[in-house]
Amino acid sequence: MSGHPRCRADTLPTAPATLVPDRKRATDLGVPKLPLVPIIFQSCPITRQAADRPVSRRCDERTQQEAERYGVPLPGRLMVAKVLGLGRSFTRLAAYRLEKDGRVDWADTRNLPTLDPGRAARLMAATAKAAPDLKRLAGGSMGGRKLEKPVLHYTLYWPHDQRPGRAEMEQAAAESLAALGLERHEALIVAHPAHLHVITNRVHPETGRAANLRLSWIRLSEWAERWERDHGGIRCHERVKNNAQRRSRLPR
């Protein structure tokens, strides 16, 4: 999975200076000074800028610009899907997402025998640790390197003019997991008023094999395009053009 050239490991150092070595470039990007606290998933400077200016707000602005360009209000429901990265710790990430602020509306799980978010994170960690045993029990190959980062973290955003209900958000989470081939994997969903976080286990709970996440950000972008088509029509025309260009470049 590709990323910004300035991306680092999955745990931020506490000093902002080590986060973005090129201070002039960080200033140009509008990266705010970060508090001296550990962050579970490091993001590149572009994502740090997005944290200061939420994705949904930028989507609102793009929607307004495109409406002015086409001269009519755009139909449908905008969807923005973003892969935030891979990580090592389910429990730390889940705790960070649940305790970051008081705006968590609800949390749910997939393919786990619990609805408790804290216990769900511990069970996912246990599954990842038991991957060799699961492979042996399933009769699969025991080869391959140890999976260092079993955590996949991504988000789904709706713009501020939309307030999706829980049923719609759960549907979006289920469809996006299926688009990534993770519908049978363990997952924790943490929902906020206009976006949700999906924390999923790359290790299959029955076979112990790690999911192939090659081009996962492209698959997620294409799913978001399909979501818009199925919910009233395209609102992000730029994404349609970008996805078409990517498809033309991929080997068939």
List pLDDT tens digits, range 231-246. Answer: 888 888 888 998 999 8
Residue 45 is assigned to a structural domain of this protein: no
Contact 34, 16 (CB under 8 A): yes
Mean pLDDT of the chain: 77
Residue 122 is assigned to a structural domain of this protein: yes
Residue that wins the pLDDT comparison between 176 and 32: 176
Question: What pLDDT, on a 0 to 100 scale, did the predictor assign at position 142?
Answer: 74
Residue 14 is assigned to a structural domain of this protein: no
- Name the amino acid, one letter, at 50: A
DSSP 160: T
pLDDT band at 47 (very low <50, low <70, confident <90, very high): very low
Rounded distance, CA 252 to CA 203, Å?
Answer: 28
pLDDT band at 20 (very low <50, low <70, confident <90, very high): very low
For the residues 128-134, what does the mean pLDDT come to? 95
> How large a percentage of the chain has pLDDT more than 90?
48
Question: What pLDDT, on a 0 to 100 scale, did the predictor assign at position 39?
Answer: 32
Can you give the residue range of the structural domain that contains 148?
76-249
Residue 216 is assigned to a structural domain of this protein: yes
Residue 214 is assigned to a structural domain of this protein: yes
Rounded distance, CA 193 to CA 180, Å?
Answer: 24
Look-up: residue for tokens 């599954």? 127
Question: What pLDDT, on a 0 to 100 scale, did the predictor assign at position 156?
Answer: 95
Residue 108 is assigned to a structural domain of this protein: yes
Look at residue 93 and tell me whether its pLDDT is greater than 80. yes
Residue 215 is assigned to a structural domain of this protein: yes
Question: What pLDDT, on a 0 to 100 scale, did the predictor assign at position 115?
Answer: 95
**Residue 96 zone, left/alpha/beta (φ > 0; ψ -120 to 50; rest):** alpha
DSSP 35: P
Question: What pLDDT, on a 0 to 100 scale, did the predictor assign at position 72?
Answer: 57
CATH number at residue 160: 3.30.930.30
Residue 68 is assigned to a structural domain of this protein: no
DSSP 38: -
**Model pTM above 0.75:** no
pLDDT tens for each residue of 148-189: 999 999 999 988 777 899 999 999 999 999 999 999 999 999
Question: What pLDDT, on a 0 to 100 scale, did the predictor assign at position 234?
Answer: 84
- Give the Cβ contact number of residue 241 at 10 Å: 10
pLDDT band at 67 (very low <50, low <70, confident <90, very high): low
Rounded distance, CA 60 to CA 56, Å?
Answer: 6
For the residues 70-93, what does the mean pLDDT come to? 83
Q: Which residues of 38-63 are buried (b: 16+ CB within 10 A; e: fewer)?
A: ebbbbbbbebbbeeeeebbeebbebb
Number of domains, the chain: 1
Looking from the CA of 12 toward its CB, the CA atoms found within 13 Å total 23
DSSP string, 67-122: HHHHTS---S---EEEEEEEES-HHHHHHHHHHS-S---EEEEESSS---HHHHHH
Question: What pLDDT, on a 0 to 100 scale, did the predictor assign at position 185?
Answer: 98
